[in-house]
């Protein structure tokens, strides 16, 4: 299902200090996986702290189309009565994932490893995103692509196989979505499925599979990579899932507190999985005043409260091998870099070109529209900071990309002139409470 179809512009202007404590919503990656593993285990999975964003709700609906009984039992609390590996129903209608790359790609893995056929589709942004990277390994496992739009894009009609071949697959790019699709298809294989990635990507799928009782192990591969091995045909048992706070959503609140003079904010319960917190590492290198307090465990992940105060920042060089741990945070980092002293160079951003939008081009365009000097050199983005000041005054094109909208709204809170984004409706895909939480800290968008 797609978001509201009429674009709704929104502006942000400079504001007084942000103050208070705030808890961002549950992690999007884990929320998608909670529904999928709930579907694949026979019995009732209870989830709390779920992100109730459009992307995740589309995955919930798709799971229901494949036979799960999905019910909302309270705020962020859901139950999923699954059917188990090997017992999925063939969906009668198209699985419409709206804007959700993760939901659609992981579900392609699930369908690819079962003897059912399903049509996958979504909004204009999803229809532009490359799906060959997911379909290629699924075809190796025995699935068939019956229909596809040009270049292996949605709408796609995928015929899964009831007896997927266990394969050893080396992912062509560091992508948790590719890794997860192969593992999810491998659940129904007789034998061991192995995925090798040369740069480690987020590990939520393998962690949750192990938690549900699958035999899955991983070991280092090369300098930065991992090899993940899954034994097929496990009996997955439903387990309660408590979803920790999404560090990719927390990023906008952290950035706003760093940029707006006088701010002092505590962002509560942020998931500190090392494969997700490249942004925090980078901000600390830039001189950010971020105190990591009360580190504890929630839902099988380390979480912490982050006390963030307005900071004078300096430009840094962000190494390419950090990209998988902060792949969704480059837009907001580029906005932060616009206020730093000196140049920030973000290396190796080729994957940004195939996100909800071409984030490399769109980020540079948004910066230029707001008087910030930004250049793209090959796959690198270079931002010249304004030593605490950023002109603003621009209109930013968001190309159906929630993170572009939130990032440039944050810019407007500290820039000299207001910043306007052409559409804020997409924010609901990942962070439906963005505006109320910002209001809780004293920010009012108009």
Beta bridge partners of 148: 156
The least CB distance from residue 376 to ligand S3P, in Å, is 19
Q: Check residue 102 for interaction with ligand S3P (CB under 6 A).
A: yes
Q: Which residue in 45, 161, 175, 188 binds ligand S3P (CB under 6 A)?
A: 175
Residue count of the chain: 446
Closest CB to ligand S3P among residues 177, 398: 177
Sign of CA dihedral 425, 126, 69, 231: negative
* Residue 328 among known ligand-binding residues: yes
Q: What is the 3-state secondary structure (H, E, C) of 347-413?
A: CCCHHHHHCCCCHHHHHHHHHHHCCCEEEEECCEEEEECCCCCCCECCEECCCCCHHHHHHHHHHHC
Site residues for ligand S3P, 299-338, by CB under 6 A, read: 327-328
Q: Check residue 177 for interaction with ligand S3P (CB under 6 A).
A: yes
Structure tokens at 411: 């810019």
Cα(196)–Cα(284) distance, rounded to whole angstroms? 31
In 3D space, the residue among 440, 94, 403 whose CA is nearest the CA of residue 251 turns out to be 403
| Total binding residues toward ligand S3P, as defined by CB under 6 A | 11
The site map against ligand S3P for 22-51 (x = CB under 6 A) is: -------x----------------------
Query: Distances from the Cα of 6 to the Cαs of 188, 407, 419, in angstroms?
Result: 42, 21, 20
* Residue 217 among known ligand-binding residues: no
Closest CB to ligand S3P among residues 170, 190: 170
Q: Which residues contact 80 (CB under 8 A, 6 or more apart)?
A: 34, 35, 38, 39, 44, 45, 47, 60, 63, 68, 69, 70, 71, 238
Answer for the pair 180, 202: CB distance below 8 angstroms, yes or no: no
Closest CB to ligand S3P among residues 29, 45: 29
Q: Check residue 419 for interaction with ligand S3P (CB under 6 A).
A: no
Reported as half-sphere exposure (CB side, CA atoms, 13 A), residue 314 has a value of 3
The least CB distance from residue 200 to ligand S3P, in Å, is 11
- Mark the segment that binds ligand S3P (CB under 6 A) among 13-21, 42-50, 58-66, 169-177: 169-177
Annotated catalytic residue, options 328, 401, 423, 444: 328
The site map against ligand S3P for 348-367 (x = CB under 6 A) is: ---x----------------
Q: Which residue in 3, 23, 129, 202 binds ligand S3P (CB under 6 A)?
A: 202
Q: Which residues contact 5 (CB under 8 A, 6 or more apart)?
A: none
Site residues for ligand S3P, 251-290, by CB under 6 A, read: none
The least CB distance from residue 345 to ligand S3P, in Å, is 21
Closest CB to ligand S3P among residues 202, 310: 202
Residue with structure tokens 């968001």? 398
Q: Is 305 part of the annotated catalytic residue set?
A: no
The least CB distance from residue 352 to ligand S3P, in Å, is 9
Contacting positions for ligand S3P (CB under 6 A): 29, 102, 175-177, 180, 201-202, 327-328, 351
Active site residues: 328
């Amino acid at each position: 299902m797609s978001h509201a179809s009429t674009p709704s512009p929104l502006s942000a202007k400079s504001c007084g200090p942000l103050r208070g404590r705030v808890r961002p919503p549950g992690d999007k990656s884990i929320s998608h996986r909670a529904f999928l593993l709930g579907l694949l285990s026979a019995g009732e999975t209870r989830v709390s702290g779920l992100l109730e964003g459009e992307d995740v709700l589309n995955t919930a609906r798709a799971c229901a189309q494949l036979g799960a009984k999905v019910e909302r039992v309270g705020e962020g609390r859901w139950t999923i009565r699954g059917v188990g590996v090997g017992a999925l129903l063939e969906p009668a209608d198209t699985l419409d994932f709206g804007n959700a790359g993760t939901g659609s790609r992981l579900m392609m893995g699930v369908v690819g490893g079962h003897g059912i056929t399903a049509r996958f589709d979504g909004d204009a942004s999803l229809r532009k995103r490359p799906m060959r990277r997911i379909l290629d390994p699924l075809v190796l496992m025995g699935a068939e692509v019956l229909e596809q739009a040009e270049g292996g894009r949605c709408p796609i009609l995928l015929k899964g196989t009831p007896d997927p071949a266990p394969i050893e697959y080396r992912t062509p790019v560091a992508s948790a979505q590719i890794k997860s699709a192969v593992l999810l298809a491998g659940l129904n294989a007789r034998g061991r499925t192995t995925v090798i990635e040369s740069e480690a990507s987020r590990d939520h799928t393998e962690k949750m599979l192990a938690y549900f009782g699958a035999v899955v192990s991983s070991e280092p591969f090369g300098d930065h990579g991992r090899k993940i091995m899954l034994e097929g045909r496990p009996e997955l048992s439903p387990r309660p899932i408590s979803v920790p706070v999404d560090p990719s959503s927390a990023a906008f609140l952290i950035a706003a507190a760093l940029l707006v003079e006088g701010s002092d904010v505590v962002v509560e319960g942020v998931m500190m999985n090392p494969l997700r917190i490249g942004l925090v590492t980078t901000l600390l290198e830039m001189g950010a005043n971020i105190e990591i307090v009360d580190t504890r465990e929630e839902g099988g992940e380390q979480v912490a409260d982050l006390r963030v105060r307005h900071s004078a920042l300096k430009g840094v060089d962000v190494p390419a091998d950090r990209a998988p741990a902060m792949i969704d945070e480059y837009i907001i980092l580029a906005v932060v870099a616009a206020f730093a002293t000196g140049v920030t160079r973000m290396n190796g951003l080729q994957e940004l070109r195939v996100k909800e939008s071409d984030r490399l081009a769109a980020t540079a365009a948004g910066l230029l529209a707001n008087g910030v000097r930004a250049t793209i050199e090959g796959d690198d983005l270079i931002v010249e900071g304004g030593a605490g000041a950023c002109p603003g005054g621009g209109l930013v094109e968001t190309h159906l990309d929630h993170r572009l909208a939130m990032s440039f709204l944050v810019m407007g809170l500290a820039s000299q002139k207001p910043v306007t984004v052409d559409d804020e409706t997409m924010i609901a895909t990942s962070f439906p409470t963005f505006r109320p939480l910002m209001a809780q800290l004293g920010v009012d968008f108009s």
